[in-house]
Structure 1
Amino acid sequence: MDAFYGEIRIFGFSFPPQNWAQCNGQMLQINQFQVLFTILGAQFGGNGQTTFQLPNLMGSAVCNQGTGPGLTPRTFSKSFGATAVTLVQSQMPVHQHQFNAMFVANSTQATNIPTSTSYLGRTYKQFDYTSTDTYDTTMSVQMVGVVGGSAPHEDRQPYLVMNFCICTYGEYPVKA
């Protein structure tokens, strides 16, 4: 298989072929992979004196370097993005939830059992739901509170797990 040192390919099997290594961020000794180090350097990690690190593509999508229309610059060998995101109020669209209730004077219209045709209502020491849909009371805005606990949610595109490998022995790439 003809390949360049440092070339990355996707394989449909779970092991690296001969002269390839998985792109799992493993640390390599420079003295064992000198030619590959001349191409990669320590841009993915390692101390650059005795060790260098392979790219880690586990759980990551790949992206070309550069800047596209409306995008921030993407620098070669740098990671970006997050696996989880916590939304803040400024990122949510403005919206409201109106909630109306009524005081029921006629207890024959009231019940303690909600149905799909009942409305929330309350008389003093009486029932909680009514069949009358005429609202005469708007609840206070203090009745609504923040929910969610500011916990992050997972934020990943759908993906299929494949085997990304980098060539550790092949032809030396010459710049065009």
Structure 2
Amino acid sequence: MSVILRPGKSSAIEASSLSFDGMTRVELIWLEKQTEFWIRFGNGAGEQVLNRSRRVVFFMPGSVFAFVRWAASDYGTVLSCLDIVRAIAAGNSYQTLPFVRPGGEILLKIEGWPKVEKVLRYVDAIESLGIDAADVDPDHWRHVAHWMKAGEAPRPYTAERHAAWLRRREIGK
């Protein structure tokens, strides 16, 4: 079992020498064309490789990440989900989510591949502005979730809106 720390560290480190206590753990699985769980965006604090098809990514409290789950059977797709989650600090309340331990604050939850694809395109549009999707205002992800569930198009996230969020976040510190 090896552990890789990110960012900036590329060499494997012994698992026993690290402590991931207090972090949110996300189990990722990749069995091509069968089960594919991956992180679309987010700044992981570390990664533990379990085997060729499984690994665990760790997130610091307050980190925002997108977790995509897709699974198929002999008859086609059986699961398509995208969750945008904020990792929680120890002792805080949280919502449970499969393969996320202990859980997190779910900012957006979408099911069904057509809707998941729309959110992925939305994330691409935000990143095309030069904005890291993990730094987007959490309220905006809630806005996207509500409007998509209502079958409407959410407001676009703009550089101006992002700058306003960054100023609000600085004031709140």
| TM-score past 0.5 threshold | no
Q: Could you say which structure has the greater relative contact order, defined with CA pairs below 8 angstroms and 6 or more residues apart?
A: 1
Higher helix share: 2
Q: TM-score range by the shorter chain?
A: under 0.3
Structure whose CA Rg is larger: 1
TM-score, scaled to structure 1: 0.21
